[in-house]
Every structure is written in C-alpha cells, then in structure tokens.
Chain A
Amino acid sequence: MEANTEQAVAHAHDVHHDHEHHEGNFITTYVFSQDHKMIARQFLITGLLWALIGGGLSIVFRLQLGFPEMDMSFLEPFFGKWIVDGKMDPEFYLAAVTMHGTIMVFFLLTAGLSGTFSNLLIPLQIGARDMASPFLNMLSYWAFFLSSVFMFISLFLETGPASGGWVIYPPLSALPQAMSGSGLGMTLWLIAMALFIASVLLGGINYISTVINMRTRGMSFGRMPLTIWAFFITAIIALLSFPVLFAAALLLIFDRSFGTSFFLSDIYIGGEALQHVGGSPLLFQHLFWFLGHPEVYIIILPALGLASEVIATNSRKPIFGYKAMIGSMLAIALLSFIVWAHHMFVTGMNPFLGSVFMLLTLIIAIPSAVKAFNYITTLWKGNIVFTPGMLFAIGLVSLFISGGVTGIILGNSALDIQLHDTYYVVAHFHLVMGASAFFGMMAGVYHWFPKLFGRMLDERLGYIHFWMTFIGVYLVFFPMHYLGISGFPRRYYSFTNFDAFQGYVELNEFISLAAIMAFIGQLIFGFNFFYSMFRGRLAPKNPWRSNTIEWTTERFPGHGNWKGEIPAVYRWPYDYSKPGAAEDFIPQTTPLSETPESNLPEEQEQVDREKGAPADGEAINL
C-alpha cells in the first residue's frame, strides 16, 4: 500500500518535471540552481579553487622548510609585508600551515569531495529526480559559498588569517595578544566555520532523507552501490559530530568576545594577569576532536565509496565482499565516535583514559584492514582497464594502506609519547586521509566527468597527472617518517635552533622539490579539467560500461535526470563478468528474467516473481 502511494507521488513528480524541463534563466540554472547536478558542479569547482590556494600555501611553506636560506623577495608581490627582507615572517609561516590545513580538511576534502559527489551521485545512482529538498540543497551550497567568502577575506587581513594550527587550540586562538592571527583572522575563521557547519548539516539531512525515501523501484538497501552507502553513512556521522564543533566554536567566540572562561584559566600574558579562572583548555580539545576524529572518516569514507565503484567497474568484477564492505563501514562509523582522545594522549588527560582510547583506536584498524583486503581481492583475476580514474583508485588503496599501518604505531599511547606532534604524524595523516582522500576524489572526477559535463577528460594528461601525483605524494610523505622517527616537531619554522634537529637538510630540500613536482601535476589537471569541460571529446552514454543507473541518463541530463519514467532496478550494481552473460556487464536496469543465461540458481525465485506477478505493469514494459 505504502509502496503504491510512493509510486503515485513519484509519478506526479515526473509529470511536473516534464513540463518544467527546459525552462530557467541564467541565474536559476547556473547560480541559484536547485538542480543537484549543478550544485555538485558548484561544490566541485569551488573546492578545486580552494585546493589551488591550499596547495599553493603548502608550496610556500615547503620553500621555507626546504630552502630556509632562500631569498624570497619574489613572493613580495603576493604576500607583501609577510616577507621581510627576503625572509618569511614566522607568523606568516604558521598562518600558511594553519590555512593549508583548514582549507584542505574542510573546504576541499569535506565540501569539495563529499559535497560534490553526494550531490551528484545520490539522486543519479538511487534513481531520484533530485534531492528530497532541492531548496535546502541550494542553501547548503550558498552557506558554503558564504563561508568561503569569509575565509577568503581573512587571507587578506593585515593581521593575517588564523594562525594557531587548524585545530585552533585555545588559549592561543583566544588571545590576540598571543599572536596576531588570533585577532580578526580568528574571528573570521570562526564565522566561516559556523557557516560551513550549517552547510554540512543542510546537505547531510538532505542526503540521508533522499537515500531513505527516494530510491527508485527495486533499489533496496541491499542493491545500493557502495558509493551511496558511503555517502549515507558519512552524512550520518557528519550530522552527529559537526554540531559538537559548532558548540566548541560558539564557546570560543564567547571566551574571545564576551569575557567567559570556558577554555581559559590562570593566564598571564603581555604583562598582565587576565581575569579568566576555572576554564579548561582540555575541554576544547575534547569537543574539537569529538568532531575532529569522525571528520577523518567523513573525509575518507566517500573517497573509499568512490573507489569501490571505480575499482569494481574497471576490474570488470563485482566488488569483493559487498556485505563485508558495508559492515566495515558501519563499524568504522560507530568506532569513529569513541576514539577521539587518541589525539590527546600527552595533553595532560588522565592516563587511564589513554589506556581506554588506545584499545578502541586499535580496534578501528580491523574494519579498515578488511576494506583494504577486499579491494585487493577485487583486482584478483580481474580484467583491469587502467583508466585514469582506476589508477587513482588503486593509488588510494596503496596510500590508505601505507598511511594506515603507521596508525597502529600512533594509536599506541606508549609510542605516541615520543611521536606525538612530530613529522611522523604529518606523514601518517597525509597519507591515510589527506592524499588518499584526494586520490579518491580524483578517481571520482575522472570517472564521473562524463556525467558532470557530458565530455571526457583527456586520458593522456590524466596519466601524466596520476604519475606525477602518485610519485610526488610518496616522495613527499615517505621520507617524513624518517624526520618523525628522529623527533622533528611539526609546525617548526626552522630547525636551526636545535642541535638535535640538524640532520636531514638535504632531505627537506628533496621533500620540497617533490612537493613542487606534485603541485605542477595538479596544474596540468587544472588545464585538463577546464579545457575538457568545454572542448573535451563528447562522452558516450556509458563510457566505462558500468552497471549503475546514472549511465542510463542522457549525455546532458536535464533537471529531473530522466526523460520520462525513472528506470526500475532489478539487481545489485556489481554484475560484472557474470558467467554466461554476453557482455562483461549487466546494468542494474536489466531484469533477471531477460538474462536466463547468466542467472545464478538462487536468483530463480526473483525471476519467477518478475515473470509471474506483474503487479506493476510498468516494470515489464521497461
């Protein structure tokens, strides 16, 4: 009964869209668009522009680290007074590090990755006309845009943007006396993040309600592509954790502007004792990491979801262990909420808590390992087509493993005593969630570019991009383990003050050069991206011979996605190279009753149902 009503509603929706299809002016089509595909493009392009800034900043501070003696006057046109007599100002160095982190974690890998692909793929892969609330979806982008504007403005302040590290620990971030970036720059950071959180929440409730309510006929949860599972779980994590960051930010705003003492106590700075007593800086850290750690999974799960789809399609094999993949994602989601304090082993937190969080942290390695093994087994006896997207997906698996294994060391509180806040940590998280999430995002961009823009990205440039990035990333972050084992602390402007940190001058130069190479690779991608958007080869309907239903839409799908009725779904999305089938793929829209040659014995029951009970005649007509 309920199903019938849903169909009726869906049908009414169809009619509605058939009428409205081609209307809309420039503003409603390209700016204040409510079409999920346009919003996805907006997220993607905004995210990539941020990546350019965030990546550029990393090159700037890598210059300082690799070539501390260098004359940097040539940067003066960009950075003005931050370059003093050809030397970088130490506070500017910290500002660059801070903004690099903030931009990459939130603006690129949360909004740019999850925002883009959740928006693009949820309606297209579950068979919906649009999001549950296209209007909220539009608001989600514009909240992000506004947030971007504030963050962007903060880059141009005379006192600089926020500079206390992307974790913005008070009291440093609360006291303008402590560093100039904690003045107006920090205020703008907090405003920008408040808007950003609003954007994530608006998007998140939409993703969840769309996945739950708007799946097309036959698209049961057990037939959803892993991408959708990943976005769905991610949205739930985000919805539960981001509000906690909002609370932390709000309390910090109170401490900064209204004289409260949530995080401040016993402070003597700038020649005076402040009136704050009774607050706790550790409280902020708990609140921050209660978001901060799930945030890592908010970033990596969508990347893993995209990789699952790309790897299965291009291996021409079903993803290995579909249920195990979903199970491990659910386990990761659950555990991600109870491991946050492993960032705080040596903050003065009760050491007993350290024991508890070490245990929980190492448990989360198990579902992560299961996922990696499943990816590898998916390649086994495949027939692998190395599209650029596939290369990036394989790169993701490699980086995820390489960065993941060092998590076993850092998650061990006894070992974290020495390694905390050293380059070992930098190497670990850049590999496991920075680079690998970026690789997942790139896999997604190459794979779904035909659906985003109706054209193909140039493959040769894609290969060059992949190899420069893949080699570059390993050359940058693998050597950092050596720095970390030797105790080099992170966020150091220079290492000349300490006898202990005199080695590795050449290694630091090497890392910087590798980073520059990887960055140039991204410029090649930038060219490919914008050139192909307008001049690329027109995409075939299903360029990767994929099963999922987004490839049944037109080359340039209009608002509403499918002309006429939304296709129904009869099978899971991974029927690749099914024995007996004529082709090495069977789209989800092909009924089992049409493929008697390849059906498995246990599928007979469903065939009978399809044949015998045409309750909804439409299904047969397809």
Chain B
Amino acid sequence: MLNLLIGLGVLLVLLVLFLLFRLGGTVAVVKGTHKKRETSANNINAFLLLFMFIVGILAAWYYNGHLAEHFLPESASEHGHWTDELFWVTTAIILVVFLVTNFVLFYFAFRYRYREGNQATFYPENNKLEIIWTVIPAIVLTLLVLAGLRTWGKIMLSDIPENALKIEVKAKQFAWEVRYPGEDNEFGPYDFRLIDATNQFGVDFTQQAALDDFVPRKIYLPKGRPVFLKIRAVDVLHSVYMPHFRLKMDAVPGMETQFLFTPTITTDEMRAKTGNPEFDYELACTEICGRGHFAMRMEIVVLEEEEFNTWYAEQTPWAESNVDYVKEAIQKRGTNQALLEKLENKKSS
C-alpha cells in the first residue's frame, strides 16, 4: 500500500514537472524568446561557468585540510621519500596549470558572452603563440621526465646489495604467504606441480636448500637493511601493494617479479609518529583477482635490525614442523638418504 502511494506521488510530481515544461515552452514561443540570440539564459550560463569554478575552488580549498588528514603517513621506505617528493613537486606544477587554464577558460566564457551588436575578432592563427605554448610545456615536461627517469632508475635498475634480505612473497586466491630462506640465505627451489594442500609453495624438499626455509604468518622486515622481494603467484595475477612503503609489483603466474627496497621506520616508531598504538603496516592486493580481491591482507612488522636478527634465528624451518610430509615427499621423488638422516638429526637435537 505504502509503495503504491509513493509510486502515485512520484507519478504526480513527474506530471506536474511535465506540465510546467509544456507551459514554459508555450510561453517561450508566445514571447518569441526562442528566436533571440541574446537571452537572459545566455548571461546566466556565462555567469554560472565562472561562478561555479570559483565556488568549486573555494570549496576544495576549505575541505582540503579535512580530507588531507587521511593521507598516508610519511613513507616508511627510502625510495618512498623520493617518489613522494617528486609527486608533490609535480602536483604543485599541475595545480598551477589546472587553476590558470580553467580560470582563463571560464573567464573568457564569461567575459566574451554574446552581446547584440558586438563582433567577434577574426583571429584564426598565430604561429608565435603556437610555438610558445609548444615549447614551454616541452621544457617543463623534459625536466619532469629527467627527474622521473632518475628516480625510476634508482628504484628499479640498481644492483642487489650483498647484505640484502631475500624474501619470497607468494599470492594465491585469496591469501598471501611469505617464505624466508633460513640460515643458508638460499631458497629451496619450487615447482607448481609440487603444490598441494600442505606444501603451498610447491617446494622441492629433495634439495638441501629447502630444509631451513621458514614460513611465518606475518612479514617481518629489518629497519635500514635492503629487502629483496621475490614475487610470484600460483593461480591468477595479483599485485603486491604495500601502501606505507610506496611499493607495488604484480605477482604473475609463471614469471617471478621482484622489488628492492629499504624500510626506514619500525612499526613501533610509526605507532609513535601517527599517535595510533594500533597501527600496523599492511600488504594488499591491487590486481583484480576474483571474489576475495578486497580481502587479501597480510600484516607487515618492521623491527630494529637486532630484534629482527633474534626473531630470524628463532624461527623453526617449515620442514621441521612437517617432518612426515617432507619424508614422504623425499621418498616419493627418489631416495635421498643423507637428507633424511640430516632431518632426523636436526629434529632430535
């Protein structure tokens, strides 16, 4: 019943609007305004273009402070400072261009609105002007390109330092997992055909290097030491995105990708900086990957180097907490008695 009444009400309003519309049309024809070129509508529209622009800019100015409160905190990685700086410098430049060009556009629209008896100036071209406004953007853009190339090169094309911590981040629908190379600082090789419900990484345990790899539930990073991320996916595309570290790189099935960065602020320090005792660094997915795309979260913890080293040494290798699985895997793929014994010894010690 209520719905019916609402429906009728809406219908009535639409009917009234329609009648007003018809009436207005008739009045216009009677007055003959539709044949005139200089109408009040022309002046109103001209005025509104400029007025709305000014109101819009003032509103953006007014709310800017409030909105900027939610910006990400200071970058927690070294390269993030470079890109943030470049971002804000470029933003300042484009803001000026945005404001000036839009203002001129709307001002001209207002200033040169139609007036009976006025004549527009026949001004078809001016090559000097064209050259000026080709060359100036070209110079500005060249400077920006050079700055961008330098920054990009520093981030993406630098060599991996000896002391870099290697971590493997692996994505699947819809979770992240992270693997550390363990004592030997070397990952056990993997093959997607070896993946099963237990061995999510598809690690080949017949290889020595695999036995000390460990798989914590969060990503732990040392402050001040370069971290080399090896990134892969097992099903569809994902993307490693650590907003606080200004870091993003796709995870591609069948192709390992990588990212080298250096964390500069520990979780505790960031908690103090943001005044939020609950603050945590996060890893998110930014390549559409299906139903759970929006929920692929993993926590990241940045520790002081010593704390990190202690934590690293305390970790139990995955193979040790899954001895039976590893044994079976080794036996299935041909015997490697030496490895088996080593595993047994390690467990008992």
Residues of A within 8 A of B (CB): 90-91, 94, 164-165, 169, 171-172, 175, 178-179, 264-269, 271, 273, 277-282, 315-324, 346-348, 351-352, 354-355, 358-359, 362-363, 365-366, 369-370, 372-377, 379-386, 391, 394, 397-398, 401-402, 405-406, 408-409, 412-415, 417-418, 420-422, 458-461, 463, 467, 470-471, 474, 478-479, 482, 485-487, 489-495, 497-500, 503-504, 507, 537, 574, 576-579, 584
Set of chain A residues within 8 Å of B86, measured between Cβ atoms: 412, 414-415
Set of chain A residues within 8 Å of B62, measured between Cβ atoms: none
Set of chain A residues within 8 Å of B80, measured between Cβ atoms: 418
Set of chain A residues within 8 Å of B34, measured between Cβ atoms: 459, 537
Query: Could you jot down 9 A-B contacts, CB within 8 Å?
Result: A165-B288, A175-B235, A264-B253, A266-B234, A319-B124, A408-B94, A479-B67, A498-B282, A500-B243
Check if B236 is an interface residue, CB within 8 A of chain A: yes
- Contact call B71/A318, Cβ cutoff below 8 A: no
Set of chain A residues within 8 Å of B30, measured between Cβ atoms: none
Set of chain A residues within 8 Å of B138, measured between Cβ atoms: 366
Set of chain B residues within 8 Å of A397, measured between Cβ atoms: 105
A417-B122 contact, Cβ under 8 Å, with A273-B193, A365-B137, A366-B141: no
Set of chain B residues within 8 Å of A487, measured between Cβ atoms: 72, 241, 243
Set of chain A residues within 8 Å of B159, measured between Cβ atoms: none
- Closest Cβ neighbor of A504 among chain B residues: B70
Set of chain B residues within 8 Å of A584, measured between Cβ atoms: 119-120
- Contact call A489/B120, Cβ cutoff below 8 A: no
In order of increasing CB-CB distance, the 9 nearest A-B pairs are A265-B254, A503-B70, A351-B156, A348-B257, A487-B243, A405-B94, A414-B151, A577-B120, A381-B121
Q: How far is the CA of A386 from the CA of B111 in the complex (A)?
A: 12
- Contact call B129/A377, Cβ cutoff below 8 A: yes
- Contact call A280/B255, Cβ cutoff below 8 A: yes
Check if B291 is an interface residue, CB within 8 A of chain A: yes
Q: How far is the CA of A373 from the CA of B286 in the complex (A)?
A: 36
- Contact call A497/B295, Cβ cutoff below 8 A: yes
Set of chain A residues within 8 Å of B120, measured between Cβ atoms: 315-317, 381-383, 576-577, 584
Binds A, one of B142-150, B179-187, B308-316, B332-340: B142-150
Check if B61 is an interface residue, CB within 8 A of chain A: no
Q: How far is the CA of A420 from the CA of B246 in the complex (A)?
A: 11
- Contact call A348/B249, Cβ cutoff below 8 A: yes
Give chain A nearest CB distance to B289 CB in angstroms.
6
Residues of B within 8 A of A (CB): 21, 24-25, 29, 34, 37, 41-42, 45-46, 48-49, 52, 56, 60, 67-72, 80, 82-83, 86-87, 90-91, 93-94, 97-98, 101-102, 104-106, 108-109, 112-115, 118-126, 129-130, 133-134, 137-138, 141, 144-145, 148-149, 151-153, 155-157, 172-173, 192-193, 195, 197, 202, 231, 234-237, 239, 241, 243-244, 246-250, 252-255, 257, 278-280, 282, 284-295, 297
A401-B253 contact, Cβ under 8 Å, with A316-B120, A482-B68, A503-B70: no
Q: How far is the CA of A370 from the CA of B126 in the complex (A)?
A: 13
- Contact call A379/B294, Cβ cutoff below 8 A: no
Set of chain A residues within 8 Å of B288, measured between Cβ atoms: 94, 164-165, 169, 172, 491
- Contact call B236/A405, Cβ cutoff below 8 A: no
- Contact call A394/B109, Cβ cutoff below 8 A: yes
Set of chain B residues within 8 Å of A373, measured between Cβ atoms: 101, 129, 133
- Contact call B124/A574, Cβ cutoff below 8 A: yes
- Closest Cβ neighbor of B200 among chain A residues: A268
Which of A324, A372, A382, A494 has the most chain B CB atoms closer than 10 A to its own CB? Answer: A382
- Closest Cβ neighbor of B276 among chain A residues: A499
- Contact call A320/B195, Cβ cutoff below 8 A: no
- Contact call A380/B156, Cβ cutoff below 8 A: no
- Contact call A401/B98, Cβ cutoff below 8 A: yes
- Contact call B152/A358, Cβ cutoff below 8 A: yes
Q: How far is the CA of A584 from the CA of B45 in the complex (A)?
A: 22
A478-B60 contact, Cβ under 8 Å, with A376-B105, A414-B155: yes
Q: A382-B120, A386-B109 given; name 10 further pairs at CB < 8 Å.
A: A178-B289, A268-B234, A279-B254, A383-B112, A386-B41, A394-B105, A414-B86, A482-B70, A579-B122, A584-B119
- Contact call B293/A491, Cβ cutoff below 8 A: yes
Set of chain A residues within 8 Å of B137, measured between Cβ atoms: 365-366, 369
Q: How far is the CA of A172 from the CA of B253 in the complex (A)?
A: 11
Interchain CB contact (< 8 A) of A347 among B24, B48, B252? B252
Q: How far is the CA of A126 from the CA of B234 in the complex (A)?
A: 56
Which of A279, A377, A406 has the most chain B CB atoms closer than 10 A to its own CB? Answer: A377
Q: How far is the CA of A459 from the CA of B28 in the complex (A)?
A: 11
Which of B69, B123, B202 has the most chain A CB atoms closer than 10 A to its own CB? Answer: B123
Set of chain B residues within 8 Å of A347, measured between Cβ atoms: 250, 252, 257
A323-B125 contact, Cβ under 8 Å, with A172-B290, A414-B82, A498-B297: yes
Set of chain A residues within 8 Å of B195, measured between Cβ atoms: 268, 273
- Contact call A351/B122, Cβ cutoff below 8 A: no
Q: How far is the CA of A421 from the CA of B87 in the complex (A)?
A: 16
A409-B112 contact, Cβ under 8 Å, with A318-B124, A380-B123, A401-B98: no
- Closest Cβ neighbor of A491 among chain B residues: B288
- Contact call B293/A401, Cβ cutoff below 8 A: no
Q: How far is the CA of A279 from the CA of B237 in the complex (A)?
A: 13
Interchain CB contact (< 8 A) of B291 among A179, A264, A346, A375? A179
- Contact call A412/B130, Cβ cutoff below 8 A: no
- Contact call B145/A489, Cβ cutoff below 8 A: no
Interchain CB contact (< 8 A) of B252 among A281, A365, A491? A281
- Contact call B37/A267, Cβ cutoff below 8 A: no
Q: How far is the CA of A409 from the CA of B87 in the complex (A)?
A: 7
- Contact call A172/B236, Cβ cutoff below 8 A: yes
- Closest Cβ neighbor of A351 among chain B residues: B156
Which of B115, B151, B155, B253 has the most chain A CB atoms closer than 10 A to its own CB? Answer: B253
Give chain B nearest CB distance to A535 CB in angstroms.
9
Q: How far is the CA of A391 from the CA of B80 in the complex (A)?
A: 42
Give chain B nearest CB distance to A545 CB in angstroms.
9
- Contact call A280/B254, Cβ cutoff below 8 A: yes
Which of B52, B101, B244, B257 has the most chain A CB atoms closer than 10 A to its own CB? Answer: B101
- Closest Cβ neighbor of A475 among chain B residues: B56
Set of chain B residues within 8 Å of A503, measured between Cβ atoms: 69-70
Set of chain A residues within 8 Å of B29, measured between Cβ atoms: 537
Give chain B nearest CB distance to A538 CB in angstroms.
11
- Closest Cβ neighbor of A488 among chain B residues: B243
